[in-house]
Amino acid sequence: MIEDTIVAQATPNGKSGISIVRISGKKSLDIARQIFLRFKDVSNIQPNYMYLGKINLGDVEDKGFCVYFKAPNSFTGEDVVEFQCHGGLVVAQKIIEQVLSCGGRLATAGEFSKRAFLNGKMSLDQAEGVVDTINAETENQLKASNELTNGNLFKLVTSFQEKLTDILSEIEVNLDYPEHDIEYETKESIKNRLQNLLVQVEELLQTEQKGKLINKGISIAIVGKTNVGKSSLLNALLNYEQAIVTDIEGTTRDVVSGSIEYKGFIFNFYDTAGIRETEDKIESIGIEKAKKILENSDIVLLVLDSSRDLTKQDKENLELIKNKKSIVVLNKSDLPAKFVYNGESIKISAKQKINTEELKQKIYDLSLDGLNSGSQIVLTNARHIEVLKQAKQIIVNTIESISDLPLDCSALDIKTIWEKLGEITGNTATEDIIDKIFSKFCLGK
Ligand SMILES: Nc1nc2c(ncn2[C@@H]2O[C@H](COP(=O)(O)OP(=O)(O)OP(=O)(O)O)[C@@H](O)[C@H]2O)c(=O)[nH]1
Ligand SMILES: [Mg+2]
């Protein structure tokens, strides 16, 4: 049972129109009566109504709003009071001091959400969705977090658990009536049902790669020999002059990066040193870096200068990108072409910004190629992915061993899968896991 009443500022510290201070716990209303002058002598304060009045800040007062949310109809499931006061550094701080002097204590990071979870207002994955919503920087990140806060992952995982519960009851029946000797049929039926579950779990896990792109963005290496227009291309894609461009070969030596958002994804571009034979020590290091970036990127743009003949170096570079998701970019298409490239490519002019939008679309299509699965939910949370992978492994092992094991042993395995899945929604998560998750939340949430 949670006894104490906690307080924290729910808005960031700084100059702003308003700040919000949130109190949660048994003493919330008592404390509000002592601080919010209008509540002092009112016996029936209406929940969910916003009252305008004076807030006692010690030696001074401020005018602001106060709302009372009566348990269990509040964010935390407890009595909650929220003050909307003037923003800035002082007022909210003064309210907090008043609350502390009336018997409240400062909330720790994520403590409001933890109470909401412990009081059954939301599941663990829903609470994690709230954090992801706060941290979202792109529309796609927001969409992914919506799937969590709306309870869609919760529903799916719960449906997996229900399937397991059904299997367990089937086993129970068989164990209770062993004289019927239907063990073989039961095992076959359980195997099939576990196979079905496995397919669903795998379908969900297939979204991991897309989730990574949503979370971390798409890393795009711009590579090629010297002077083909790599830095010009970076600048054209970013729409500002990030990298130095000259007609001198070997202008770029270190990696120059920049990001844009395209259709809800972050594109992280890396312009690199032109690849060529060189004695120059600094340039050689730059070229080594370029090759590393090429290796580690999601997409490679290999730039060729179509206004000059294709060289041995270009051909070697084409070899380098063979096993990567890549796009051959024929740059300087504003000038007459000196060669015909037979493979798949896109003609652009970085200098004149011709076809650069089409190139972005091509990058987008190629990044998502093969990643769109039937699942509406996209896994973006590393913890959920890890737990699901572990659950998948136990399902695989259970299917493999079921023919050779007595049914009650398989029942234990199936219970283990159920418990593993419960770690996602929190119904079997240990206190350690719960504490770790909520400690990553921000203060006041
Ligand atoms: N006509 C024309 N010139 C271009 C185009 N793109 C780049 N250039 C020119 O080509 C030269 C080299 O451009 P950069 O962008 O510095 O080439 P780079 O590949 O980064 O070169 P390094 O950093 O030396 O490897 C510059 O003079 C650019 O103005 C283009 O689309 N058309
Ligand atoms: Mg350059």
SS3 string, 175-234, reads HHCHHHCCHHHHHHHHHHHHHHHHHHHHHHHCCHHHHHHHHHCEEEEEEECCCCCHHHHH
Of all protein residues, the one whose alpha carbon is nearest to atom 23 of ligand 1 is 252
pLDDT in 10s for each residue of the chain, 445 residues: 578 999 999 999 889 999 999 999 999 999 999 999 999 878 889 999 999 999 999 999 999 999 999 999 999 999 999 999 999 889 999 999 999 999 999 999 899 999 999 999 999 999 999 989 989 999 999 999 999 999 999 999 999 999 999 999 988 877 776 665 667 778 889 999 999 999 999 999 999 999 999 999 999 999 999 999 999 999 999 999 999 999 999 999 999 999 999 999 999 999 999 999 999 999 999 999 999 999 999 999 999 999 999 999 999 999 999 999 999 999 999 999 999 999 999 999 999 999 999 999 999 999 999 888 778 899 999 999 999 999 999 999 999 999 898 888 999 999 999 999 999 999 888 888 888 888 888 777 8
228, 232, 332: which to mutate for ligand 1, most atoms within 8 A of CB? 232
Peptide bond just before 12 cis, omega within 30 deg = no
State the Cα–Cα distance between residues 433 and 445, nearest whole angstrom.
Answer: 18
Number of Cβ within a 10 Å radius of residue 291: 15
Atom number in ligand 1 closest to CA 349: 31
Percent helix, strand and coil across the chain, each to the nearest 5: 45, 15, 35
Distance (Å) from CA 319 to ligand 2 centroid: 21
Ligand 1 atom closest to Cα of 250?
Answer: 24
pTM: predicted TM-score of the whole model, two decimal places: 0.83
Closest by Cα among 306, 312, 344 to 328 = 344
For residue 153, the number of C-alpha atoms closer than 13 Å in the C-beta half-sphere is 32
Give CA–CA dist 70/80, Å, rounded.
7
Query: Which domains are assigned to the chain?
Result: 6-107 (3.30.1360.120), 129-207+378-439 (1.20.120.430), 217-368 (3.40.50.300)
Residues with CB under 5 A from ligand 2 (ion): 230-231, 251-252
User: Which atom, in ligand 1's list, is nearest to the CA of 234?
Assistant: 15
Cα-to-centroid distance, 76 and ligand 2 (Å): 54
Residues 231, 252 contacting (CB under 8 angstroms): yes
- At 362, give phi and psi (nearest 5°): -65, -40
Q: Starting at the edge strand that comes first in sequence, how are the strands of the sheet with 265-271 ordered?
A: 256-262, 265-271, 218-224, 299-305, 326-331, 346-347
Q: Tell me phi and psi for residue 218, to 5 degrees.
A: -105, 125
Tell me which residues have their CB closer than 6 angstroms to ligand 1: 226-232, 245-247, 249-252, 274, 331-332, 334-335, 349-351
